[in-house]
């Protein structure tokens, strides 16, 4: 029988500190009305404190996931961390998370494809399940975007927040789980959305720090146009390849970068707003946390057999879409059944 990789549980964590638009009005020349009308963001969460990296949030998300699914740490065979803001260049943040939750009989590694990484990591984790070599794989999306945001740059500081969420993948022979994917990259996008320094090309130095080259750089208009077209195209392609009409899709799960991009993707798919997972207003763009955080927030509304279309776009450029069939009734998990 054909084996597919089904999501059998979700865990999530966001920091306590809430950065509101009102607070940003005191930091840069902006207004709540301007931010809301252009992005749909009302507030975002920020991880405060010394020596606090993406792994801190990833550990809490995985701990919740293990508890909710009744999974023992030693049962996990692979953990992949999707992150653009690793704790350090090495060891992998995935290793730190595994150690933090007591996962000792698995291998783990990081992936980085900017905001599309969670989708790429989900597709990668699914391959281990489908090959029949692994039965329990965790994929974590965790990013501390506040660590690479310039809070004097009004164009970027309004967009990003911190957060993490994780999913458990297990084998299914009933047709549930990840059924199709379209994943793409275009390296010419490097010029429009990147972090200039901090890697081997431009290692950290007094000059790079003084020039603020360790923060996010983007040409907003170009990125917006490319993101709208790319996310909409791959989401529509996944629907066409799987003969899905708008009435067949239970939920669109889009990367939460900008509400106007989300609306454009939904319109291209013909999906109404009632079928679009949305939490950008509360979290902003948490990069690789956005899609799994949506799954966590909407888990109680998900039903076994629901058709979900996931779509994302990231810097550099990367983008993609995944079609999956949901494997369990989320309301029963929320009720503790």
What does the radius of gyration of the chain's CA atoms come to, in whole angstroms?
A: 19
Asked if 286 and 84 count as a contact pair (C-beta separation under 8 A), the reply is no
Tokens of 157: 């500081």
Which of 158, 196, 220 has its CA nearest to residue 19?
A: 158
CA–CA separation, 297 and 278 (whole Å): 9
Mean pLDDT of 202-226: 93
Residue 316 corresponds to which tokens in the numbers above? 């550099």
Q: Which residues of 265-278 are buried (b: 16+ CB within 10 A; e: fewer)?
A: bbebbebeeebbbb
Respond yes or no: is residue 81 known to be catalytic: no
Percent of the chain with pLDDT over 90: 94
Q: What is the mean pLDDT of residues 121-135?
A: 98
**Residue 206 token pair:** 């007094």
Round to whole Å and give the CA distance between 258 and 200. 31
pLDDT at 143 over 50: yes
Q: Residue 38, Cβ neighbours under 10 Å: how many?
A: 16
Sorting pLDDT into bands at 50, 70 and 90, what band is 336? low
Contact yes or no for 91/40 (Cβ under 8 A): no
Mean pLDDT, range 310-324, rounded to an integer: 96
Question: Considering 81, 95, 255, 294, which one is annotated as catalytic?
Answer: 255
Instruction: Write down the pTM of the prediction.
Output: 0.96
156 among known catalytic residues = no
pLDDT value of residue 1: 78
Residue 334, pLDDT score: 56
Q: Give the residue carrying structure tokens 């003084």.
A: 210
Q: Which member of 21, 112, 115, 288 is catalytic? A: 115
Are 298 and 266 in contact by the 8 Å Cβ rule? The answer is no
Beta bridge partners of 234: none
Q: Percentage of the chain with pLDDT > 70? A: 99
pLDDT in tens, 16-68: 999 999 999 999 999 999 999 999 999 999 999 999 999 999 999 999 999 99
Catalytic, out of 112, 156, 258, 285: 285
Residue 335 has pLDDT above 60, yes or no: no
pLDDT in tens, 70-106: 999 999 999 999 999 999 999 999 999 999 999 999 9
CA distance 335 to 221: 44
Element (H, E) at 318: strand 318-325
Please state, in angstroms and rounded to a whole number, the distance separating the CA atoms of residues 259 and 254: 10
């Amino acid at each position: 029988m054909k084996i597919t990789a089904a999501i059998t549980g979700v865990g999530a964590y966001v920091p306590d500190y809430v950065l509101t638009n009102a607070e940003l009005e005191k930091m840069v020349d902006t207004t709540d009305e301007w931010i809301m009308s252009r992005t749909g963001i009302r507030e975002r969460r920020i991880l405060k404190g010394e020596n606090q990296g993406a792994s801190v949030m990833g550990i809490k998300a995985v701990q919740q996931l293990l508890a909710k699914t009744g999974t023992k740490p030693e049962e996990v065979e692979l953990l992949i961390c999707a992150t653009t803001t690793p704790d350090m260049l090495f060891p992998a943040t995935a290793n730190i998370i595994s150690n933090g939750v007591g996962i000792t009989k698995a291998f783990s590694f990081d992936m980085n494809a900017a905001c599309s990484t969670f989708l790429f990591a989900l597709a990668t984790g699914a391959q281990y399940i489908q090959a029949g070599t692994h039965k329990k794989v965790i994929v974590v999306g965790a990013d501390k975007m506040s660590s690479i945001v310039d809070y004097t740059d009004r164009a970027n500081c309004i967009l990003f927040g911190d957060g993490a969420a994780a999913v458990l993948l297990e084998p299914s022979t009933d047709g549930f789980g990840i059924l199709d994917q379209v994943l793409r990259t275009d390296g010419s996008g490097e010029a429009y959305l990147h972090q200039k320094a901090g890697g081997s090309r431009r290692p950290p130095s007094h000059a790079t720090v003084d020039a603020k080259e360790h923060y996010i750089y983007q040409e907003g208009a170009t990125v917006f146009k490319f993101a709208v077209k790319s996310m909409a195209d791959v989401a529509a392609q996944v629907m066409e390849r799987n003969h899905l009409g708008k009435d067949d899709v239970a939920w669109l799960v889009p990367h939460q970068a900008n509400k106007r991009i989300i609306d454009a993707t939904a319109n291209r798919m013909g999906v109404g707003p009632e079928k679009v997972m949305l939490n950008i207003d509360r979290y902003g763009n948490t990069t690789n946390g956005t899609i799994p955080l949506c799954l966590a927030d909407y888990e109680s509304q998900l039903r076994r057999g629901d058709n979900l279309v996931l779509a994302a776009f990231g810097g550099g450029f990367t983008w993609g879409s995944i079609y999956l069939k949901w494997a369990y009734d989320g309301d029963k998990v929320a009720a503790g059944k």
